[in-house]
Amino acid sequence: MVVSAHPVATAVGVDVLRDGGNAIDAAVAVHWALAVTSPWAGNVGGGGFAVVRLHGGQAMALDFRETAPGKASSDMFLGADGRPLHEVSTHGALASGVPGSVAGLFALRDSLGRLPMERLIQPAIDLARNGCVLSPLEAHEINVCMPMLQKYSTRPSAFTARAKWEAGDTLFQPDLARTLERIRDRGRDGFYRGETAQAIVHEMERGGGIITTEDLAGYEAVWRPVVRGQYRDIGVISMPPPSSGGMMLLQMLQGMEAMDVGAAGWQSPATVHRMVEVERRAFADRSSFYGDPAFTHIPVEGLLDSLYNLGRMVDFNPLHATSSATVRPGLPPTEHEQTTHFSIVDGEGNAVSCTTTLNGMYGNGVVVGGAGFVLNNEMDDFSSAPGVPNSYGLTGGEANAIAPGKRMLSSMAPTILERDGKLLMVLGSPGGSAIPTSIFQVILNVVDHGMDMQQAVSAPRFHHQWLPDTIQVEYDAIAAQDSLKLVNMGHRFKSRRAIGRVDAILRLPDGRLEGGADPRGEDSAGGY
Ligand code: DON
């Protein structure tokens, strides 16, 4: 089964599974396909993370996060007056980190795949060349991003081929098809060296960016040990730093152990209150401790210590909200709107949970001239200066300051759950800071509230990230009288459109798979 953000990408993955490919092969093919069907987030110019669990239970994590270019500096997004230049960290050539996705897909296939890369990339090439028919939402999104793509790209592109897109129009991407063909024919070097690398560097020269041929040739994806934790009788496997997402998820789940969540009721004031208080504290820790482990010492064991997380809740008042102004990052023992997620399980029980991103929708707005793909604006995930919020309102300090070659802190949390040593669930989400909290809620929906996979994904969500000190809620997420009770407890509310976009697979006790495709997007589940 495959659950992804686009029905055509889902079908590409299911075809690979039918053809004898395993979940890893399908993941690689789905990632290539999403770069064509869903260029607002699917990408070759971005980066991401994948968590794999093989049917025997071994798990591994692949980090293909972008890196800061060699010429990056900690103050590159501060003006002469020391004020943050938000526009520069989010748009145009300087906003892009060195892309990691292509290296990531080769690392995945070469280590764990079965089918040749030519087979896995060809469907994407065909889609780019033969065109994709746009849904109403896709046409709308290109139109919305058109001014940005026109302003920041230095050459016309497939997206600017029409002044206005309508549902039913076909988007042809011949430049992207040729880039994918170079990758098919020359492997990773088809992207990180030669013509594609030159196109990126020329784009940088025209647009005032700093990515060099050396930066591209030197990019490496990194295999990392997964982070593991326990929630009730369930084993949780997720992404380690440089994403904060997996560890925050484990911190938040630990914070719920002391409560009978099911008995307290779904979205009841008591449940929402405790979840918010747990989220608030995890994000306070994020702002101070988390960053690229190659540059920053992260007290991983301390942050995941159950006593530490119990201790974080000592000032929890069951009747009143804690003010974020009084919540400081803890002192752990010293040791020790765009991204897309897809979940895949094959017939043998191998599972892949992969989240990949350009950061913002259509990344930094720069389509690499002649190469047909958008670059990321992941540099905004660094902290430009202590306390300066990024696009998701997240602040940070030294641990996540910009340095050459460093990976910017993420919140992405591709996650796999197991029970009694057997695969239970594969899930993940886009949504920036709302990624770990969306996954947190879907897990509680199934484990504590007894929902099935689709109900758990569809159910309305809320989110708290320490600062700003408000509970962000989807429409109808919390009943009016319960909101009132929470306000009386000292919480503040702000409504928000969609929180996260979770694509998940649940393995039922009899071995059948149930997909949960998020209705907040055009996501689809497919299997056989
Ligand atoms: O890595 C991160 O945490 C962000 N770049 C993710 C951005 C994102 O999820 C946007 N999606 N809606």
The domains located in the chain, with CATH, are 2-223+339-400 (no CATH), 244-336+437-521 (1.10.246.130)
| pLDDT given at position 337 | 58
Q: How far is the CA of 433 from the centre of ligand 1 (A)?
A: 7
| pLDDT given at position 329 | 83
Whose CA is closest to atom 6 on ligand 1?
A: 432
> CA-CA distance, 168 to 127, in Å (whole number)?
15
Which ligand 1 atom is at minimum distance from the Cα of 381? 5
3-state SS class at 507: strand
CB proximity list for 498: less than 8 A, separation 6 or greater: 474, 520, 521
Determine contact, residues 178/158, Cβ cutoff 8 Å.
no
Whose CA is closest to atom 8 on ligand 1?
A: 432
| pLDDT given at position 330 | 80
3-state SS class at 225: coil
Burial of 436 (0-12, 13-18, 19+ CB in 10 A): buried
Residue entry with tokens 């407890």: 489
| pLDDT given at position 333 | 54
Strand order in the sheet with 227-231: 227-231, 234-238, 415-419, 422-427, 504-507, 513-516
Residue entry with tokens 């293909």: 64
Pocket test for ligand 1, best of 339, 395, 408, 461 (most atoms within 8 A of CB): 339
Q: Which residues are catalytic?
A: 339
Burial of 487 (0-12, 13-18, 19+ CB in 10 A): middle
| pLDDT given at position 365 | 95
Pocket test for ligand 1, best of 249, 411, 433, 438 (most atoms within 8 A of CB): 411
| pLDDT given at position 303 | 95
Whose CA is closest to atom 12 on ligand 1?
A: 337
Which ligand 1 atom is at minimum distance from the Cα of 339? 11
| pLDDT given at position 336 | 32
Pocket of ligand 1 (CB under 6 A): 337-339, 357, 359, 378, 381, 410-412, 430-432, 435
Low-confidence ranges of the chain (pLDDT < 70): 331-337
Q: How far is the CA of 378 from the centre of ligand 1 (A)?
A: 8
Which ligand 1 atom is at minimum distance from the Cα of 430? 9
> CA-CA distance, 235 to 213, in Å (whole number)?
42
Q: How far is the CA of 66 from the centre of ligand 1 (A)?
A: 12
| pLDDT given at position 496 | 85
Q: How far is the CA of 260 from the centre of ligand 1 (A)?
A: 31
Whose CA is closest to atom 4 on ligand 1?
A: 432
> CA-CA distance, 358 to 483, in Å (whole number)?
35
| pLDDT given at position 497 | 84
Determine contact, residues 525/515, Cβ cutoff 8 Å.
yes
Element (H, E) at 341: strand 339-345
Which ligand 1 atom is at minimum distance from the Cα of 380? 5
Residue entry with tokens 């055509």: 8
Q: How far is the CA of 306 from the centre of ligand 1 (A)?
A: 28
> CA-CA distance, 51 to 223, in Å (whole number)?
10
Q: What is the pLDDT of residues 252-288, one digit of tens each?
A: 999 999 999 999 999 999 999 999 999 999 999 999 9
3-state SS class at 180: helix
Q: What is the pLDDT of residues 128-179, one digit of tens each?
A: 999 999 999 999 999 999 999 999 999 999 999 999 999 999 999 999 999 9
| pLDDT given at position 335 | 36
